[in-house]
Amino acid sequence: MNFRKRFILFSFIAIFLFAIMFVWGFFAHRNKIFPYVLLRFFKASERLEIQLRPVDILANLTSLPYIKGTYDSNFKKTGVIFYDQENTADGYNFYNSREKNIAYLINMKGRIIHQWSYPSGPWQHTELFPNGDVIALIKDERLIKIDKNSRLIWSFSDRFHHDIWIDSNQDIYALKRKPEIVPKIHKKVRTLVDYFIILSKNGIKKEEVSILKIILNSQYSFILPSISDLKFDVKDELDILHTNHIEVFNGNLEKKSTIFKKGNILMSIRNINTNMIIDKNKKEIVWIWGLTNLTFHHHATCLNTGNILLFNNGFERSEIIEVDPLSYQIKWRYTHKGFFSKTRGSNQRLDNGNTLITESDTGYVFEVTPTHKIVWKFANPEINKEGIRMAIWRMKRFNANELTFLNKKNVK
């Protein structure tokens, strides 16, 4: 075969293969068949620094050493240590220290407006209702609901952890976990299976759903670690997911995208560096992002714009990220030298566009403007004799008119 004929033959084959690839790509995108799932999962217009280190990931499968606090050389500084009144979002700040069974509501100057306490184990997380009721989560033990005078309303025992969400119907969504043998994960060692449990406002159980089962039954099951051949102590409990935040959409963004349908659930899943939105009725994942972009993050929360704000912990420096879930573009981010919380963290977008950031492990909370200027800073007054400032899981700011139980004449 002469050169001309070989050239024509090879050109024909190349064009034929290109046409097949083009047609396959078209139908893969339209019908969402392979490799659509992989391409969509890894798509992102702006990548963050990938900090995944196998040794750290394996270590976190069996334990996560939460510290009670951090040594602070500035331990004499307590309460509100900086306040730029003209540029802050006014309101009341609600928080609890990690190793205490007490919660506080303080004004912008740090004065205690109200407090709650109840004889129990330390509170990991608390949620405040407008009427002054509080739900407190005692890790791996129970939820309790108390009124504004700290009187017990109800208690519900289970292995709860990390987070609570109150939906528009006043149903309570909480995270719980249960050790189970899951053969697809490990045939001999128990996996800590994360669930979300739904309680009525009166503390009556309504439903319980396995988050791990939803992932295993989805097209995204490949994001789970392959550890069936690894050796662990049979007494270990494998913390594959470590879900740390849950919230339920109220439907006000449904016109923007069906992923925001009323009742859909946004979850932040730390140990697989993933955020996902689940259709609660179908038990299906409708959106997922984060695997190659995040490092052991916390508190992925949906803003009024539909963007998602989260605390990306990192290994040496933390950052706050705002991502558009439809375009996968990073819209805003914040970090600074020395900003770091290894195991916890939270964020809240305020009405004036500022962001309230809880640097949980260090016990500091600060408010920043969109241009990264710090305008308010709070240091947890709970400090021991060794200079260890106690951690704060999350601080939340309320507008004055949100809290109906307050006597507004006496709280200025």
**pLDDT for position 412:** 61
Instruction: Identify the weakest region by mean pLDDT among 56-70, 183-197, 205-219, 398-412.
Output: 56-70
- Containing 54, the helix (H) or strand (E) segment is helix 54-62
Q: What does the chain come to in residues?
A: 412
Please say if the pLDDT value at position 49 is more than 90. Answer: no
Instruction: Identify the weakest region by mean pLDDT among 56-65, 82-91, 317-326, 384-393.
Output: 56-65
Tell me which amino acid residue 351 is: D
Scanning 167-264, the segments in alpha helix (DSSP H) are 211-216
> Comparing C-alpha atoms, which of 144, 89, 145, 100 is closest to residue 122?
100
**pLDDT for position 294:** 94
Residues of the chain with pLDDT > 90, as a percent, come to: 75
Q: What is the pTM of this model?
A: 0.85
User: pLDDT tens digits, residue range 234-264?
Assistant: 788 899 999 999 999 999 999 999 999 999 9
Give residues with Cβ within 8 angstroms of 165, minimum separation 6. Answer: 127, 172, 173, 174, 246, 247, 248
Mean pLDDT of the chain: 88
**Which domains, ranges and CATH numbers included, belong to the chain?**
51-410 (2.120.10.30)
Residues of the chain with pLDDT > 70, as a percent, come to: 83
Please say if the pLDDT value at position 392 is more than 50. Answer: yes
Please say if the pLDDT value at position 347 is more than 60. Answer: yes
> Comparing C-alpha atoms, which of 222, 211, 331 is closest to residue 277?
211
CA 220-49-334 angle, 5° bins: 105
Instruction: Identify the weakest region by mean pLDDT among 183-192, 193-202, 339-348, 349-358.
Output: 183-192
38 φ/ψ angles, rounded to the nearest 5 degrees: -65, -45
How far apart, in whole angstroms, are the C-alpha atoms of residue 378 and residue 294? 27
pLDDT-derived band at 52, boundaries 50, 70, 90: very low
Please give the average per-residue pLDDT across 160-174, as a whole number: 96
- Containing 238, the helix (H) or strand (E) segment is strand 237-238
Give residues with Cβ within 8 angstroms of 220, minimum separation 6. Answer: 37, 41, 276, 285, 288
pLDDT greater at residue 185 or residue 4? 185
User: pLDDT tens digits, residue range 265-310?
Assistant: 999 999 999 999 999 999 999 999 998 899 999 999 999 999 999 9
